[in-house]
Structure 1
Amino acid sequence: MGDRTADVLDATLRCLLRYGARRTTMDDIASETGVSRSAVYQYVRNKDDAVRRLAEGLHVTAMTAAREAAAEPIPVADKVFGIASAKVQLAAGPFAESPHAAELIDEQARLCGDICRGFTDDLHGLLTGVLDEAGLDRPADTARIVLATTIGLLSAGRTDLLRTATDALLDGFGTTVKTLEGEQQ
């Protein structure tokens, strides 16, 4: 992605956070970018394309963080927290202040819901792998519960409880999990 495409997507983000997807226009994006409307079309096909590309980029960045957490030689509880935190990070920063953020990060969103669902599915797979490697019984179910809890905390505005929640969930399954080095946690 060229620098100008990044500028257009950054401008799209600012417009979306300000106006929402329905009210944002290509003229808004062009004005925010500082170029003509026809120039914006050199980088994106239309507003929907800009929104989807923006959402994809945000989710790729979050998934990269989740994969990095999963690959660290740290206790499983820390890995699970790190993976769940990737979902939370999508809602942080400028998104926390905008009523329109859900249009980019909500699985029910018209334009980007499929991207968000794919991201959650990928997180589920990553969590399942980490939990399976740790020897946890029913890792796929545990991963679903971790994600449901994370989503619930996001909805309630209580992401400050994520660490406590992930630790409690793992403790509640009554299974001792191991780090990659085989140490007991």
Structure 2
Amino acid sequence: MPGADRTEEVLDAAYSCLARYGVRRTTMDDIAAEMGVSRSALYQYVGGKDAAFRLLAERLHAHALGRARAAAAGEAPAADRVRGVLEAKLGLALRLRGDSPHTAELLDAEARLFGEVCTAFTAELRGLLVGVLRGSGVAEAEDAADIGLALVAGLEGAGEPERLLARAAEALCAGLGGCR
């Protein structure tokens, strides 16, 4: 499908503009200039700026979900799979916060354009964690999943968050009697 490749280019251009200007200040003209096409050509691939940013949020969250699903389904010990799911969330947050203060907007569950995407992402991560934890014999898997997600949220602004995540995942599993 030739249009799909161009849509990816539109989303890449939208990300570049987002990093520079933010959602509100980015225009379709900005995205078109970044991509090297006319504004009217963009409408062949996306319905407008709002649609472009929603698709962008969906793409970024879907890639992170893919990593989380792979980690949860792996053959590694449960503690490693828990860490892998949490790393997918942390990795997305660190990337978006690190690229620009504006790209971090894509993490806002309250945002009109893509809040649903963020909420669904977190809900699916929670489900993956619950599955891994239940499968390893953790009785209070829902609470443990919520604690794990809260740990990641706290680590997003910490120094050396990746190193701390490994320690936090170990501590979480140890506190649960060991994720077997």
Letter of the aligned partner of 2:108 in structure 1? D
Show CA shifts across 1:42-74 (max 9, x none): 100010000000100111111010000011111
Letter of the aligned partner of 1:71 in structure 2? A
1:168 to 167, 171, 174: 171
1:8-23 aligned within 5 A: 8-23=10-25
Choose between structure 1 and 2: higher helix proportion. Answer: 2
Q: Which residue of 2 aligns with 1:181?
A: none
Q: RMSD across aligned C-alpha pairs, in angstroms?
A: 1.4
Structure 1 residue 111: deviation in Å? 1.7
2:161 to 145, 151, 159: 159
- Indicate conservation of the 8 Å contact 1:103/1:110, yes or no: no
Structure 1 residue 10: deviation in Å? 0.4
Aligned residues with identical type, % of pairs? 53
Letter of the aligned partner of 2:168 in structure 1? A
- Indicate conservation of the 8 Å contact 2:94/2:156, yes or no: no
Structure 1 residue 112: deviation in Å? 1.2
SS of match in other structure, 2:84: helix
Structure 1 residue 113: deviation in Å? 1.4
Structure 1 residue 92: deviation in Å? 3.4
Letter of the aligned partner of 2:87 in structure 1? S
- Indicate conservation of the 8 Å contact 1:103/1:111, yes or no: no
SS of match in other structure, 1:22: helix
Q: Which residue of 2 aligns with 1:183?
A: none
2:70 to 68, 73, 96: 68
Letter of the aligned partner of 2:7 in structure 1? T
Q: Which residue of 2 aligns with 1:117?
A: 119
Letter of the aligned partner of 2:173 in structure 1? L
The alignment's TM-score, normalised by the length of structure 2, stands at: 0.93
SS of match in other structure, 2:109: coil
Q: Please list every run of 5 or more consecutive structure 1 residues that lacks an aligned counterpart in the other structure.
A: 179-185
In the aligned structure 2, how far is the partner of 1:81 from the partner of 1:176?
A: 13
Letter of the aligned partner of 2:34 in structure 1? E
Letter of the aligned partner of 1:169 in structure 2? L
- Using the TM superposition, name which of 27-36 and 101-110 deviates more: 101-110
In the aligned structure 1, how far is the partner of 2:129 from the partner of 2:84?
A: 10
The alignment's TM-score, normalised by the length of structure 1, stands at: 0.91
1:145-156 aligned within 5 A: 145-156=147-158
Moved over 6 A (4+): none
Letter of the aligned partner of 2:152 in structure 1? T
Q: Which residue of 1 aligns with 2:104?
A: 102
SS of match in other structure, 1:70: helix
In the aligned structure 2, how far is the partner of 1:162 from the partner of 1:88?
A: 8
Show CA shifts across 1:159-178 (max 9, x none): 231111111111122x1332
